[in-house]
Amino acid sequence: MSIACRLITFHVYHFFLNTGGKKIMDVIGSIRMPKVVHYGEGSIEKLRLEVNQLGKRALIVSDNPMNELGYINKLQTLLTECNVDSSVYLGIDSETKDTHVEEAFTTFQKDECDFIIALGGGSCIDAAKAAAVRVNNQEDFMDYVNGATIQHEPVPVVAIPTTAGTGSEVTDAFVVTNTSLDIKMMIKQPVITPHVAIVDPSLTVSVPRSLTVATGIDALSHGVEAFLSRRAHVFTDDIALISIKSIMKNIRDVYTNGDNLKARANMALASMQAGIAFSNSSVALVHGMSRPIGALFNIPHGISNAMLLAPVLEFSLPDCQEQLAQIGRHIDERLGDKSDEVAAKEFISLIKQLCADLEIPSLEEWGVDREKFIASLDKMATDALASGSPSNNPRTPLKEEIIKLYEICFTYQYTTS
Band the pLDDT of 79: cuts 50, 70, 90: very high
Give percent helix, percent strand, percent coil of the chain, each to the nearest 5.
55, 15, 30
Q: Which pLDDT score is estimated for 321? A: 97
CB under 8 Å to 403, separation ≥6 — which residues?
A: 377, 378, 381
Phi, psi of 403 (to 5 degrees): -60, -45
Q: What is the mean pLDDT of residues 122-129?
A: 96
What is the CB-side half-sphere exposure of residue 7 using CA atoms within 13 A?
8
- Is a pLDDT exceeding 90 seen at residue 9? no
Size (the chain), residues: 417
Q: Which pLDDT score is estimated for 258? A: 86
- Is a pLDDT exceeding 70 seen at residue 138? yes
364, burial (CB in 10 Å: exposed 0-12, middle 13-18, buried 19+): middle
The whole-angstrom separation of Cα 214 and Cα 199 is 18
Q: Which pLDDT score is estimated for 182? A: 87
Band the pLDDT of 165: cuts 50, 70, 90: confident
Closest listed residue to residue 192, CA positions, set 401, 358, 33? 33
The string of pLDDT tens digits covering residues 342-357 is 999 999 999 999 999 9
- Is a pLDDT exceeding 90 seen at residue 341? yes
* Residues forming CATH 1.20.1090.10 domain(s) in the chain: 210-410
DSSP string for 203-250? GGTT--HHHHHHHHHHHHHHHHHHHHSTT-BHHHHHHHHHHHHHHHHH
* Residues forming CATH 3.40.50.1970 domain(s) in the chain: 36-204
The whole-angstrom separation of Cα 61 and Cα 160 is 10
Band the pLDDT of 93: cuts 50, 70, 90: confident
Q: Please give the radius of gyration of the chain, using alpha carbons only, rounded to the nearest integer.
A: 20
Phi, psi of 161 (to 5 degrees): -75, 145
Band the pLDDT of 207: cuts 50, 70, 90: confident
Output 415 or 210, whichever has higher pLDDT: 210
Q: Which pLDDT score is estimated for 224? A: 98
DSSP string for 139-194? S-HHHHHTTPPP-SPPPPEEEEESSSS--GGG-SEEEEEETTTTEEEEEE-GGGS-
- Is a pLDDT exceeding 70 seen at residue 199? yes
The string of pLDDT tens digits covering residues 19-56 is 444 444 445 567 889 999 999 999 999 999 999 999 99
Closest listed residue to residue 94, CA positions, set 199, 165, 190, 40? 165
Q: Which pLDDT score is estimated for 362? A: 95
Q: What is the mean pLDDT of residues 113-136?
A: 96
Q: Over the range 377-399, which residues count as b (16 or more CB within 10 Å of their CB) and which as e?
A: beebbebbbbbebbebbbbbbee
CATH of domain 36-204: 3.40.50.1970
Q: What is the mean pLDDT of residues 151-157?
A: 97
Q: Which pLDDT score is estimated for 14? A: 33
Q: What is the mean pLDDT of residues 125-129?
A: 97
- Is a pLDDT exceeding 60 seen at residue 156? yes
Q: Which pLDDT score is estimated for 1? A: 57
C-alpha triplet 207, 212, 213: angle, nearest 5° = 160
Query: 3-state class of 406 per DSSP?
Result: helix
How many other C-beta atoms can be found within 10 angstroms of the C-beta atom of residue 142?
Answer: 15
The string of pLDDT tens digits covering residues 230-280 is 999 998 999 999 999 999 999 999 999 988 999 999 999 999 999 999 999
Percent of the chain at pLDDT > 70 equals 92
The whole-angstrom separation of Cα 57 and Cα 40 is 26
Q: Is the dihedral of CA 99, 105, 108, 112 positive or negative?
A: negative
Output 331 or 27, whichever has higher pLDDT: 331
Q: Which pLDDT score is estimated for 29? A: 65
DSSP string for 356-387? HHTTPPPHHHHT--HHHHHHHHHHHHHHHHHT
- Is a pLDDT exceeding 60 seen at residue 174? yes
The whole-angstrom separation of Cα 73 and Cα 55 is 19
- Is a pLDDT exceeding 50 seen at residue 169? yes
Band the pLDDT of 12: cuts 50, 70, 90: very low
Asked if 188 contacts 228 with a C-beta cutoff of 8 angstroms, the reply is no
Q: Which pLDDT score is estimated for 227? A: 97
Closest listed residue to residue 360, CA positions, set 257, 229, 220? 220
The whole-angstrom separation of Cα 337 and Cα 339 is 7
Q: Which of 3.40.1640.10, 3.30.420.40, 1.20.1090.10, 2.60.120.260 would CATH assign to domain 210-410?
A: 1.20.1090.10
Q: Which pLDDT score is estimated for 162? A: 93
pLDDT, averaged across the chain:
90
